[in-house]
Amino acid sequence: MCPHFIGIFMLNIDSHRIDTENTTEKLVNFIREEVDRSGLNGAVVSVSGGLDSAVALALTVRALGPERVRALTLPERDITPDRDIADVMSLVRSLDVTCDTVEITPVMSVMREILPLYDPEDLVAFGNVKARVRMVLSYHYANSLGYMVMGTSNRTEWLTGYFTKYGDGGVDLMPLADLYKNQIRQLAIHLNIPGSIVEKAPSGGLWPGQTDEGELGIDYDTLDMILSGMDEEMPEKEIADALNVDLTTVQGVFKRVKANEHKRRLPTVLRLRTTSE
């Protein structure tokens, strides 16, 4: 990628280098303070075998101690790769965290039968149902244990809306949502997350062969740089030229961010009451 200067900002991957030690300390303090402020006992982290949830779990354990953290993995038969389950088990053992496995296959079978608009060809709509079922299970554990639900979404996903509203977006805390995907990878290396997780192609595991980059239609490094330029209020054409990518690619990312704004805010309320007579 070609560097592009705007003020002191340089649009290349080096602009995303973070002080991993300092960032880890801030994240750990944030998690600890927010959980303690809530008056709850600990945190539930839904772990998929992917990068973001592994980092979220490791940080939460550092913040609260393993005795105040419950990991939860929610595989689906014939969909969730065995490798993901093995990676989860290896990770929770290394962190000394209790992990419950709840297979969602029976629930999804019922959903296929009872949903009036179920369409086997509509992978996205039913994928969102899976994400919301997993959210329900996470909150069941949280309510039963008096815990908070820890979010795992990063900034790249947050801006592009690459999460399910009231699914994996239905959480109490989002400690990673101000860090781009490549910055999460830097943290993972610092936290000694296993290489099998760090190097794995990101996937929501919503259907066989599904990958984040395949669904997004763009690789994460390029997407991170486009979003970084957008954050710096660079024009679309300047970003495209700086990164040597098609202008339509940049425009598509900008359009996606705008279209998913509703996912990043609370429901809009019509204010009918006034404080003045």
> Model confidence over 170-219: pLDDT tens digits?
999 999 999 999 999 999 999 999 999 998 877 766 667 767 777 788 88
Taking the CA atoms of 180, 100, 91 and 42 in sequence, report the sign of the dihedral they define: positive
- Of 3.40.50.620, 1.10.3260.10, 3.30.470.10, 3.40.50.720, the CATH number of 17-208 is 3.40.50.620
| Per-residue confidence (pLDDT) for residue 216, from 0 to 100 | 80
240 vs 7, more confident? 240
- Environment class of residue 230 by beta-carbon count within 10 Å: exposed (0-12), middle (13-18) or buried (19+)? middle
Determine the average pLDDT of the residues in 83-105: 97
Instruction: Classify residue 43 by burial, with Cβ atoms within 10 Å: 0-12, 13-18, 19+.
Output: buried
- In the prediction, which pLDDT does 65 show? 98
Cα–Cα distance between 244 and 225 in angstroms, integer? Answer: 11
For residue 8, pLDDT over 70 is answered with: no
Alpha-carbon distance of 182 to 22, in angstroms, equals 17
Q: State residue 276's pLDDT score.
A: 56
Q: What is the pLDDT of residues 224-247, one digit of tens each?
A: 999 999 999 999 999 999 999 999
pLDDT at position 213 is 76
Residue 6 binned pLDDT confidence (cut-offs 50, 70, 90): very low
Structure confidence at residue 2 (pLDDT): 39
